[in-house]
Amino acid sequence: MSPRTRPTDSRLRPARLRPADLLRLGLIGPRTRRLRSSLCALGISLGIAAVIAVTGISASNQAHLMERLDRLGSNLITVSPGKDVNNKEVPLPETAEKMLGNIAPVQKATATGKTTAHVYRNDLVPEEQTNSISVLATRRNLLTTLHGRLQVGRWFDTASENLPVTVLGDQSAQRLGISRPGERVWLGGQWYAVLGILTPNELTPELDTAALVGWPQATAHLGADNHPSAIYLRAFTERVDSVQRVAGATANPATPSAVAVSRPSDLLKARAETQNSLNGLVMTLAAVALLVGGVGIANTMVVGVMERRGEIGLRRALGARSGQITTQFLIEAVLLGFLGGITGLALGATTVLTYATLNGWPARIPLYTLAAGPLTAVVVATLAGLYPALRAAHMPPTTALRTT
């Protein structure tokens, strides 16, 4: 028999749906059940938004902290009096500041000293109402060593450090009701003019609640001695640890154990790490939100299978294969997860941007979060829709048609 006369195979062959056809079938559910699908995708989007917001706000906070440390410097070391075995404070020697300044890696050294004076808004305020403001003697190089700044006014110079003038910390100025230079305060039993007001300094918060006076003026009229109450050192960054190890013995060779040496930037980092440890709780809540969203998708898909049993039975009777039915319902679940992931990404990014802007932080969102957010939503939706899809695919046509 020649090839031309060979009979053709008249048996029907199962048709294959093209990807575009499968996509259109997958859109039937979301298009016909818009409210239910929107609420289902909302559960996923809230979980993704929570993940984006938590990681983004944490990253923004870290970036803000790093900017502050870069500005203030993480190479600051503070040396202050410690306590002996009897829990009594041991004053630093008068030579401590000079000896610490002679350490080779130390770039700058400065100090403050205690006084017996108190400061008040005027001479009519009772003596016991000090508002917890301390009066400190200060060196002229304190501001440059601490990388401090002034809100208003000016700092001490060679002439003003010998005059009855003061520079107030930020909180001290607020408690005294001082807002501009030139105003007077009652300090140590006489009037002092306010020379300037400092901006807050995270590395030296003790200066925010202090009234600073030039060292010569403080020793001459305010009962200050030459024993420093705090010495601030700026060291080369790569040698900070070395300076920190020898600072106690250098400041007080007789009793080095009675010297407190600290690095304020470590406190800031520890505070940030403590705050970040709480992110685990929020991430757990975000995971719960994702789980709830996944359960919502599973519930929607199961209800969709039950409502569309007649459609499933008819399609099976017309030759649709179980794999095509499975793919259709999986596409619906994946679409809901993808839409929820994209919406959550936008919502979370907006939250981070708004929060960072309100706090004056640089907005930062880790790139891995941007990629993992929608991907996680799709994975959760796929897992949630897998069982309903398989259930729909293995439903016998006769059973499905009888239930219409």
Q: Where are the domains of the chain?
A: 16-68+276-402, 74-273
pLDDT for 380 equals 81
* Residue 231, SS3 per DSSP: strand
Is 195 within 8 Å of 224 (Cβ atoms)? no
Q: How far apart are CA 43 and CA 85, in angstroms?
A: 60
Is 311 within 8 Å of 336 (Cβ atoms)? no
pLDDT for 124 equals 92
Upper half-sphere CA count for residue 300 (Cβ side, 13 Å): 33
Is 360 within 8 Å of 301 (Cβ atoms)? no
Q: How far apart are CA 138 and CA 234, in angstroms?
A: 16
Please, what are the averages of pLDDT over each run of 10 residues along the chain (404 residues)? Answer: 51 62 70 74 80 82 74 84 87 94 94 96 91 95 93 96 96 95 95 96 90 96 93 90 93 92 73 58 66 70 70 72 78 83 90 91 83 81 78 71 58
Q: Give the single-character DSSP code of 85.
A: T
CA angle centred on 392, ends 389 and 394, rounded to 5°: 110
Show the tokens assigned to 20. 């575009």
Provide the phi-psi class of 177: left if phi over 0, else alpha when psi is between -120 and 50, else beta: left
In this structure, the number of other CB atoms found within 10 A of the CB of residue 28 comes to 15
Show the tokens assigned to 88. 């009594």
* Residue 130, SS3 per DSSP: coil
Query: 107 vs 28, 78, 92, 237, 256, CA distance in Å?
Result: 72, 14, 21, 10, 22
Q: Which residue has the tokens 């007001």?
A: 197
Query: 247 vs 84, 104, 235, CA distance in Å?
Result: 17, 12, 11
pLDDT for 185 equals 96
Contacts of 214-217 with C-beta under 8 Å, sequence gap 24+, read 214/137, 214/138, 214/140, 214/156, 214/160, 214/161, 214/162, 214/163, 214/165, 215/113, 215/137, 215/138, 215/139, 215/161, 216/161, 216/162, 217/137, 217/161, 217/162, 217/163, 217/164, 217/165
